[in-house]
Structure 1
């Protein structure tokens, strides 16, 4: 395996690095923080729009959708440069990385320009309505109903853990449209503006503190949604769901690898460093980078190895969580309050905004849940990598 990049990829990296150096928002300009993953301060809207207009928001997209038709490897180094600098290209990550991407994959041309482009240009924000009470990891058990009535769907039900919904303009919502079909069938996807009568959003605090209000309960009571807001074919929402989560998982491992790198750089305990813990962290990060590089090479050849992504998801999320647990233990009482890094605050993502060791460790649990829980990923690995029987 050759762990270096061709000259054209390095030239692409250098061009993007020069763009960042010339255009990053000034710290004073970026003083206002995002209050949720559905909220964009004006400076963040300008920053995202600039990236869209110059083709640096999602380089793999065509120019009309904020990109420059970059290769998979070029997309990788783009994310690598952002991660190394702790820069977030959007404060509405699910809107840009999952919802707009899903619309570009499954939406009509009208939906792409009416919804995806405004999301990508930071004119509106979006939230993802998947999980429900009793249908979290098992999305196929969802019970939110949508009944076709003429040229509208009538939606009733509830979502939960809907990040940023109270600040978002639109929800990409998974609903059951055929209650008699097997549970993986009969699911459809609707774009539901949050201003629609009958939509109620209730944010609630996470255990990391009352200031951390990103999660929501969302209730739908006789909500009328135009039939033209159906994304993908009727009753084929499971395919859209797999595509949506695929957009989220493809390079997710890179974020875990960079977070472990951050941990190596940021950890300054008052007690002597545990050499065994440090060595484990170094080896886990190296293993993740090597396995991720192999997956990247396969993707560059056009081979999307979904089970391999499950291996990377489990390894990355759980290794970084264990490392953060050890760091919190070593930091002692100081880890409850003291900042973990001196990196510019406005460069951090929403997830890194609560910067004590405790907050970093507490938020790591989301990494083992979002994009598919570790338990579900182990089932995929058992069945599709190891070939074990379903029972």
Structure 2
């Protein structure tokens, strides 16, 4: 296996590193902290816009959408350099990585101009309205209704776990538009501005604490949404959903690998048992990067390999959860001290919200849920890798 890149990719990396060295915001500029994944202080908006204007926000995009038509391998080293510095290119990750990407894939030219570009430029923020109280991993079970009434849809229902909804300007919302169709059909996707009458957003705490207000429940009570806000075709929202989750899973393993490397460095083994655990974590980190590199090479050759992405997602998320636990134990009682908000900017990626090692450990469980649960990934692996029959 060739674990190095060609000269053009390394030149691309060097250009990006030079941009980061010259333009990263300093500590004195970043005193205002984001309070949710859709809340962006002025400095965070300036940082994202600077990347957009220079083609470094999403390098794989064309220039008009914040990129430079980068190859897959160039996109990889871009993310790798961000990971090395523990920084994030956007503090509205679902807006950038899922919603804007979905709009660019499925939206009309007017919809791209109206919503995708402002999200990319950090002029507005967005949240994803998928999960419901009775439809979490099973999106096809959603019951939020949208009934066409003239040139508007009338929306009624509820969403939950909607990260950043109370700070977002728009919601990319999955609704049922044909209740008589089979579960996977009859779903449509609407962009719903959060200032429309009839929308109620209620943030609530998480396992990290009551003051960790990112999750929301969102209620729709006869919300009238212009029909022109329909993304893709009517009743074809399942196709959009698969594309949205595909955007979320793209090179997701690299984030797990970066986190695993960081956690392994924070485990300080003392006893023989701890040294054994440490060795296992170190091997997991190496294995994840090797498996990921092989999957990346296949993708660069144009080979589609959904199963390997599931393997990487499953292995990476669960390895990070295990590593987080061992890192917490290695800290002893100090791991419960809530002093994380004193970390300087170079460590202020989305971990910015975590004030203790326990917070990090508790949040590590989300990696086994977001982007497709471990149970779903195991089903995919069983069917597509092992060839087991569907049950």
Length-normalised TM-score, structure 1: 0.97
Aligned to 2:73: 73
Aligned partner of residue 274 in structure 1, secondary structure: helix
Aligned pairs for 1:303-318 within 5 A: 303-318=303-318
Q: 1:267 to 1:199 in 2, by over 3 A?
A: same
Aligned pairs for 1:304-343 within 5 A: 304-337=304-337
Which whole-Å CA distance do the structure 1 matches of 2:336 and 2:57 have between them? 35
Q: CA deviation at 1:274?
A: 1.6
Matched, 1:165 2:165: yes
Structure 1 outlier segments of 4+, above 4 Å? 268-273, 338-343
Q: 1:341 to 1:265 in 2, by over 3 A?
A: farther
Cα deviation per residue 1:173-225 (whole Å; 9 max; x = unaligned)? 00001111110111100000000111110000112012210000000000111
Aligned to 2:365: 365
Aligned pairs for 1:102-141 within 5 A: 102-141=102-141
Q: 1:132 to 1:338 in 2, by over 3 A?
A: closer
Could you tell me whether the CA contact under 8 Å between 2:94 and 2:126 is conserved in 1?
yes
5+ long unaligned stretches in structure 2:
none
Aligned pairs for 1:272-287 within 5 A: 274-287=274-287
Matched, 1:148 2:145: no
Q: CA deviation at 1:349?
A: 2.2
Q: 1:287 to 1:339 in 2, by over 3 A?
A: farther
Q: CA deviation at 1:135?
A: 0.3
Q: CA deviation at 1:297?
A: 0.9
Computed over aligned residues only, the root mean square deviation of the Cα atoms, in angstroms, reads 1.6
Aligned to 1:218: 218
Q: 1:166 to 1:338 in 2, by over 3 A?
A: closer
Cα deviation per residue 1:138-162 (whole Å; 9 max; x = unaligned)? 1110000001111111100000000
Aligned to 1:200: 200
Cα deviation per residue 1:238-279 (whole Å; 9 max; x = unaligned)? 111111010111111000000011112333578788211111
Matched, 1:18 2:15: no
Q: How many residues align?
A: 391
Q: 1:270 to 1:331 in 2, by over 3 A?
A: farther
Q: Which moved more, 1:98-107 or 1:348-357?
A: 348-357
Q: 1:227 to 1:176 in 2, by over 3 A?
A: same
Aligned pairs for 1:375-386 within 5 A: 375-386=375-386
Q: CA deviation at 1:355?
A: 4.1
Q: 1:45 to 1:272 in 2, by over 3 A?
A: farther
Matched, 1:186 2:186: yes
Length-normalised TM-score, structure 2: 0.97
Which whole-Å CA distance do the structure 2 matches of 1:272 and 1:19 have between them? 45
Which whole-Å CA distance do the structure 2 matches of 1:338 and 1:194 have between them? 33
Q: CA deviation at 1:352?
A: 4.3
Could you tell me whether the CA contact under 8 Å between 1:248 and 1:371 is conserved in 2?
yes
